[in-house]
Amino acid sequence: MSEDRGLIRYLLRHQHTTPFEMCEIKFHVRVPMDCWRQWIRHRTANVNEYSTRYSLAIDASQRAGDGQWRMQSSDNKQGSDGFFDLERGKQFSEQELQLQNLSRSVYEERVNAGMAREQARKDLPLSTYTEAYWKVDLHNLLHFLWLRMDSHAQYEIRMFADTIGNEIVKRWVPLAWEAFQDYKVNAASLSNIEIEIIKALNLNGKDAAVEVARKFGLVPHAGQELKSNRERGDIESKFNSLGITIPWK
């Protein structure tokens, strides 16, 4: 067992993909269409999706609870930051239910009138569920999970990735999962900027590190306001996890 663990960790650490490509798994997934759009961007699997050209659309939609409506992030166009209060969230949830019920009613009316299913479906919301068989090898599955389990991934697809990883892959290939956690999920890579800041901090102290950060445009000149900066925020988060002093604070 220890030899197997050591070999798997070596292969993953040094990115030898062939053994992982030989290991395949097939999932039957049911996900909202907006989430599936992100999922299907990973063009590294064999996919057979439920077709609403031939079959009736699934009569189920994803809904957000009153406390689950997220606000747009001010520094990340693709992300969210914080939640609306419950009173406003309740209003959004009620509107969502009305919209989903109306769109489903219109869809069924069209189908019952004899409209082609491929056209009747066009006004269904992205919250409508779809189903698919998704066959993927372990190498590409772990890459998918690394990206979609990340805290920056959209919450909805992150929940699917967490379930696949922790409830299925962890039990299916426990040694590979252990190595994946060590060398990918919980590992940290350093950019050239981060290396230069750490070197300056260790060799010459905080002032020297601040000068390096200033050279790369991460912090302003003395006397100027320290404005929000996403790249600097990522560096600060990484430094905090490593126990490294943030020199400009």
> Is 148 tagged catalytic?
yes
Q: What is the pLDDT of residue 56?
A: 96
Q: Which helix (H) or strand (E) covers residue 45, if one does?
A: strand 45-49
User: Domain residues of the chain, as ranges?
Assistant: 192-242
CB atoms within 10 A of CB 166: 13
Global pTM reads 0.82
- Cβ atoms of residues 43 and 71 within 8 Å: no
Please give the average per-residue pLDDT across 69-88, as a whole number: 89
Span 215-238, pLDDT tens digits: 999 998 877 888 888 889 889 999
Lowest mean pLDDT among 7-16, 37-46, 120-129: 7-16
> Could you say which of 53, 63, 148, 158 is catalytic?
148
Q: Is the pLDDT of residue 16 over 70?
A: no
- Cβ atoms of residues 90 and 78 within 8 Å: no
